[in-house]
Amino acid sequence: MFRFAIETYEELRDGVVRNFQEQFNYITHQTEVPETIDISVHEIRKSFKRIRAILRLIRWDIGEELYHSENGKFRDLSRSLSSLRDYHVIICDLADRFEAEELLIPESRFIQFINHLNDKKELEYQHLINTKVMDTIRNTLKQSYVDVQLYDLRRLGPHTIEKGVKRIYQNCLKHIEKAQNELTDTALHNLRKGTKYLLYQMQLVEEVWPDYFNNYSKALKEATDLIGDDHNLVEEIIIINSMPESLLPPADKKKLTDALNMERQHLHEETWQLMGKIFTEDPDSFIKRVNSYWLLGRQTG
């Protein structure tokens, strides 16, 4: 796996292009020689998020038209793998919870339920093969490897860090306010995406002051994991409630969803406590500090 960071000795343009291309290479490798399909799909989707975080960093420099075109392309490629990933996560989580005796339904019925989900997952896998999704990803990235060298990145500089990071930070604050007011699944999901993009941008610039950015990134990672766990529980509840009664009677559905909703409450409490520590500054103060670290680190690196 390539290290996702811009080196202090690199020109910003060179670091951006290199990180793009290394992510393209990593994804291509995962499509060609997957360790296992579940691991590869997970790694590919993470790399696409890193790519889109870079695009958000340079958005002001490359312009809205190119940004939206490229972001949409990589978003759609990642989405083509989302169902397979969702089934894998849900099956593993439910199995762990049942093993820990957190899901109080008969074992025979639980096995039936999991077998049903495994059948659904197998259908998604066959669809991925039949539609040659991995070939599409590989061919698209082969062209993208060339395309990023043609981006107009001549004007990249400190303003790139300022504008790119500030926009993401501001969006995170908006998502926090909306999620706290509404506490809807969509609002929480948008908060997770925004926090994840900020995490990857902090990793990109971390070499200018590793002690600060590493610690901040760890906190962001913990927050995205908490919201990600909550999102997985939401998906599990949706799937449970969609099961036919012949497979999962109403009483068992209620036992399962009650247990998962209780876990969601605990996750929400942890999430808001952590978010209160991470997002303590207004956008101007935050980006002023990040940009000063960037400039100082680049001078002494």
Asked whether the whole model's pTM tops 0.85, one would answer: yes
With contact defined as beta carbons under 8 Å apart, do 148 and 95 qualify? no
Closest CA to 37 of 115, 121, 140, 130: 121
| Residue 249 three-state SS | coil
Q: Are 56 and 201 in contact (CB under 8 A)?
A: yes
Cβ–Cβ under 8 Å, residues 21 and 148: yes
What 3-state class would DSSP assign to 282?
coil
Q: Yes or no: say if 216 and 202 are a contact pair by the CB < 8 Å rule.
A: yes
> Cα(192)–Cα(249) distance, rounded to whole angstroms?
33
Residue 289: half-sphere exposure toward Cβ, Cα within 13 Å:
12
Q: Which of 280-286's residues contact partners 24+ apart within 8 Å by CB, and which partners?
A: 283/166, 283/169, 283/170, 283/173, 284/166, 286/166, 286/169
pLDDT in tens, the chain (301 residues): 578 999 988 999 999 999 999 999 999 999 987 668 999 999 999 999 999 999 999 999 999 999 999 999 999 999 999 999 999 999 999 999 999 999 889 999 999 999 999 999 999 999 999 999 999 999 999 999 999 999 999 999 999 999 999 999 999 999 999 999 887 889 999 999 999 999 999 999 999 999 899 999 999 999 999 999 999 999 999 999 999 999 999 999 999 999 999 999 999 999 999 999 999 999 999 999 999 999 888 776 5
User: What is the per-residue pLDDT for 298?
Assistant: 79
